[in-house]
Structure 1
Amino acid sequence: MAKDFYGDLRLGILGGGQLGRMLIQEAINFNVNIHVLDPDPNAPCKRLCNQFECGALNDYDTVYNFGKDLDMITIEIEKVNVDALEALEAEGVLVYPQARVIRLIQDKGLQKQFFKQNDIPTSAFQFISSKENLASTQVALPYIQKLRKDGYDGKGVKRINTVADFEHAFEEPSIIEELVDFEKEIAVIVARNDRGDISTFPMVEMEFNPQANLVEFLIAPSTFSDEIQAKAETIAKKIANDLQIVGLLAVEMFLTKDGEILVNELAPRPHNSGHQTIEGNYTSQFAQHLRAIFNLPLGNTDTRANAIMINLLGEEGYEGLAEYEGIEEALAIEGVYVHLYGKKYTKPFRKMGHVCIIHSDRATAIDNARKIQQLIKVKA
């Protein structure tokens, strides 16, 4: 580490959304000087950081000029200009996760190739350059089409059931994936520092919103067998070591009905599948990411109690200045922790916040979480 903490370490975050906001809340404990770049002049991080710059994350000059006087850069979103990050690395700025890792993960096709080359279990796949190639794919219908680049939060993913769906398929280069008959979507977050120390958070189970295709209900810790949990954590560690990543890596997986685990996607940053760690674990994912990129000893990832995380999504039919209903009633329930993201405007399915529900009894925690889902509504 070039500099000590105590306020003289200048850390840049590319992206000023909720992940950056929660990362800053942890970084304050280290007295780190935080600089943020985001295209939104009203980004959630704007009033929490030491220096905020409004600019395009995918523009070379903007990213390079933002980072050239900083000690270290990290990300809260993968859609950033990697060429600029490579130039900054060459000039001595620490970039974690490394630019080469971000470049690989930006392209879901390169991710799939990486899985195949490193014997990481994943679903069968095929590359296509345009939707005209759909008719000649070797993967049997129905299957999933994913854009190779720029997909996030359920965007850039389509299920192709029949030939009739070809008309509405993505035009851009994409991958076709075999449809997995899974029992549960699971995730493991793994952290690795520059010394090679590595640590996983316990496996979690996820439920997705069928319309928005993003996580809306997460249960931790998992109740699947120790064997399955250990297998998932071993896969996550292998990926982190194969990548030689420094920082946090979220590994999203499918648990199939015959007990196999297939890796779906990677995210090289704090992730929606780790929000419950703020209250539910001894070390949060945000604190662990900072420990990893600062090359500090990694923290204890054990769970404190049963933790349920629910996303607060903008209600359908509402767009405009955000209003929150039901928070007071929700906070009357024991073990409820509300996190609002500081987003001024809501729109359908936009992530506006999350709630973590803690209880010593798992069934009670789940029941309370279902109540919260009905209580809190984000409208306009």
Structure 2
Amino acid sequence: MHYFSSDFKLGILGGGQLGKMLLYETRKWDIQTKVLDTSKEAPCKIACNEFVLGSLMDFDTVYNFGKDVNILTIEIENVNTDALEKLEEEGVKVYPQPSALRIIQNKATQKLFYTDNDIPTSPFTRFAYTSEIEDSISNGGLELPFVWKSAQFGYDGQGVKVVRSVSDLEGLPNVECIAEQMVNFKNELAVIVARSTKGEIKTYPVVEMEFHPEANQVEYVICPARIDEKVAQKAREVALKVADKIQHVGLLAVELFQTQEDTILVNEVAPRPHNSGHYSIEASYTNQFEQHIRAILGLPLGNTDSKVAGVMVNLVGAENHTGNVVYENIEEIIQLDGVTPHIYGKKQTRPFRKMGHVTIVDEDMTRAREVAQKVKEKIKVVSKG
């Protein structure tokens, strides 16, 4: 099939910042795109050939959207998999496959998949409803503290809470969930695995993630991770095992814990381009978004090595600021060597909403991390007035 400057059409479910960055690559290669999103102000709207407004979870909307595309992909996993399965049956190529999405969409199903396939992960208990947890604690079936996670629809720190006392359960939604044993970790790591329709597989370097203590969001992504090579090799091996068992096509971001004993445990995965790979736009020979396109089109995968050290800083809405967004001090950070801001195009900010990121590249990792700290201190995402 001819992809470039042709009648081929790629459908993308989700029109957020990940989709926008995917479109950088499709526009570079003149590949036609059609995007579905729930917001009329979706970041993707300005860059795709065709934009459709509608629900990603509605069967008819997703099915009708996908009928006239050649290949359908996602930038968010919360989509109607029943519609994707029907499209797949009718000959539309869907990547990642609905079978992979069904495993990943539900965190309880995802964790059971790890235990069934001898993939190392933290111990957990599955609950049909949050309201069942208090009885389990009272009866000695569950020990405090633990991490509560909603089984579905959690993202960007939402649907996750550390529970240190029974009172911490107050106000949590009464939904299917899991309670994970707390992991005493040294580092939170991630590995992005690319797997093409032809079975070619490559991994990106292991990255290190530093999290905001309150928002449970990544503040910094550091590539390469500042860890021993033996630990990095273990992390790659575990990530490759997950990819092999899921048999996905496209990108799979595998988030990991490095314990105090240097054991590697899988936290969770995302079947798409991921926040932990944003550094690759400036720092890698082949960025994660181009790699995803290569993988789902069955093109040769690109070089995943880094050209320089890279640190990514997330730009999130400041606390106590909701409304029309203003980015303060961008001119000041642009004066620093190796700094590239990416603004996602969301008009409204709110506390901890992902609004952009900044990449810092340098031949020296220590310098890159120091500049990243300056960027974090300088730039502010606030609301007007």
Q: TM-score normalised to the size of structure 1?
A: 0.98
- In the alignment, does 2:120 pair up with 1:136? no
1:324-339 equivalences under 5 Å are 324-339=327-342
1:279-358 equivalences under 5 Å are 279-358=282-361
Structure 2 counterpart of 1:304, one-letter code: K
Contact 2:3 2:31 in 1 (8 A): no
Give the match's secondary structure for 1:322: strand
Distance 2:266 2:142 in 1: 18
Pairwise CA distance, 1:4? 3.5
Distance 1:195 1:95 in 2: 14
TM-align CA RMSD: 1.1
Distance 2:375 2:269 in 1: 29
Distance 1:119 1:131 in 2: 27
Give the match's secondary structure for 1:205: strand
Structure 1 counterpart of 2:18, one-letter code: L
1:1-20 equivalences under 5 Å are 2-20=1-19
How far does the alpha carbon of each residue in 1:105-137 deviate from its partner, in whole angstroms, 9 at most, with x for none? 110011011101111000001111223321325
Distance 1:324 1:40 in 2: 22
Distance 1:298 1:87 in 2: 29
Structure 1 counterpart of 2:314, one-letter code: N
Instruction: Determine which of 232, 241, 257 is the counterpart of 1:229.
Output: 232
Counterpart in the other structure of 2:180: 177
Counterpart in the other structure of 2:217: 214
Structure 2 counterpart of 1:136, one-letter code: S
1:60-139 equivalences under 5 Å are 60-134=59-133, 135-136=135-136, 138-139=141-142
Unaligned runs of 5+ in 1: none
Distance 2:166 2:59 in 1: 41
Counterpart in the other structure of 1:262: 265
Distance 1:104 1:342 in 2: 31
Instruction: Determine which of 142, 160, 165 is the counterpart of 1:162.
Output: 165
Alignment coverage as a number of residue pairs: 379
Counterpart in the other structure of 1:26: 25
Greater mean deviation of Cα atoms: 170-179 or 66-75: 170-179
Distance 1:317 1:222 in 2: 33
Distance 1:133 1:20 in 2: 38
Pairwise CA distance, 1:3? 4.2
Give the match's secondary structure for 1:223: coil
Structure 2 counterpart of 1:112, one-letter code: K
- In the alignment, does 2:246 pair up with 1:271? no
Aligned-residue identity in percent: 51
Unaligned runs of 5+ in 2: none
Contact 1:125 1:139 in 2 (8 A): no
Structure 1 counterpart of 2:167, one-letter code: A
Counterpart in the other structure of 1:47: 46
Structure 2 counterpart of 1:285, one-letter code: Q
How far does the alpha carbon of each residue in 1:291-335 deviate from its partner, in whole angstroms, 9 at most, with x for none? 100011111001111100001111112111111111111010000
Pairwise CA distance, 1:241? 1.2
Give the match's secondary structure for 1:31: coil
